[in-house]
Amino acid sequence: MFSVAYLGSGLLAPDTVAGLYNASAYWVSYRDGFVRRGLPGAVMEAVLGGPPGLAAASVVAILLVLLVLAALAQLVRMTVRAVPAPRDRLVVGALVAASPFTFSLAVLNRGRYDAVVVACVVLVAVLASGRSTRGARVVGIAVAVPAGVGSLEIAVAFLAPLAVLAVLRLARTRAERLTWSALVVLPGSVLAAASLWVRPGVDRLVAMMGRVAEAGLPVTPADENSISALGQTTRDALAHTAGIAPLTVLFCAAVLGGSYALTTYVLWGLLGRPRARWTLFLAAVYAVAALTMSAVGDDYRRWWGFAFVAMAASLVLLRQGAVHVPAPRHVHEPPSQRLLVVTLLISAALQVFPIWPSWDPSQTAASIEQIQR
């Protein structure tokens, strides 16, 4: 009910469905040269023939919400279908759907380009599981990775490992494994590196904000928004994190990371415990990525959301590629009923966990006025 009410409030917003902070990203594009997170805006301008207006921005926000909800519904479907025991399918569907990292997060995070990243993660899993020509699926995966990275550069940490896992399932020879892995990883990695290296100047940020103001959004150089955030350096981000209470950082990492680890373990058990070493490795990779992002960005729940979605998609692929061999009965016993109940209760409790620690008094320094100081 909370998520439905929050989503409904967006339809009554005075500016756009996405809200001022998220919607300002729609005016970031390649109009004046390369800039990180500019791909969606460039596509938008190509379709609309110029920067969007307020009505178009609201339509884009609604489309992004529909996109991420559809992607998450597909992820639930794929995960449920991968369950070996029919009796466990309802529980698995509930674990993914009720996770604080899926539908409720998508609603709280409405209108952000995170929707594109989630859609690209699910698309990679779909392509790896499809039945069309292998080459066509590899090309599709190779396009999905930079599409996600062009929307949010840190997506490479979650898309690249999944893409490699996907093509390893599709490849039949050593040459294909090496070639295809490079094909799906290198373009996105180069784009991510360029995004981190190229930082737009203040004049360019002001020009982008000017276009936002012309469209009717009340933004000023004193406001923090998606455009001013592009001028923040890693040093600025680390300085902000250092200003957050250590207890807050530890609490967010423990609660969100703990929920991620617990749900991943339970899903792995219900999916038949496929490829234990691969599962542990990928779970660790995604967790490290989420922790790293937590060090330079205080939107903790978003990063763990990416980690969980990527891990759920990885478990589906690992299950599909699992070798079915006789094993002792206890190896495939599902998690205990108590553990399932605890996991679902924790997920329910975290539905209202904020995206960032709103209770902490620290303030970011990402407005244009603050960047100029």
Are 305 and 102 contacting, i.e. CB atoms less than 8 angstroms apart?
Answer: yes
| pLDDT < 50 positions in the chain | 1-2, 4-14, 323-331
Q: Given this model, what pLDDT does residue 321 score?
A: 77
Residues with Cβ within 8 Å of residue 43, at least 6 apart in sequence: none
Q: What would the pLDDT profile of 57-83 be if each residue is shown by its tens digit? A: 999 999 999 999 999 999 999 999 999
In 82-173, where does DSSP find H-type helix?
89-97, 103-108, 114-129, 134-151, 156-170
Backbone φ and ψ for 124, nearest 5 degrees, come out as -60, -45
Q: Give the span between the Cα atoms of 314 and 301, in whole angstroms.
A: 20
Backbone φ and ψ for 16, nearest 5 degrees, come out as -140, 165
Nearest one of 352, 368, 334, 330 to 85, comparing CA atoms: 334
Q: Give the span between the Cα atoms of 220 and 198, in whole angstroms.
A: 24
What is the three-class DSSP state of 93? Answer: helix
Q: Give the span between the Cα atoms of 29 and 113, in whole angstroms.
A: 13
Could you tell me the CA-to-CA distances from 74 to 17, 201, 232, 241 in Å, in that order? 24, 40, 35, 35
Q: Give the span between the Cα atoms of 82 and 317, in whole angstroms.
A: 9
Q: Give the span between the Cα atoms of 249 and 255, in whole angstroms.
A: 10
Q: Give the span between the Cα atoms of 21 and 208, in whole angstroms.
A: 14
Q: Given this model, what pLDDT does residue 65 score?
A: 96
Residues in the chain: 373
Task: Report which DSSP code applies to 15.
Answer: S
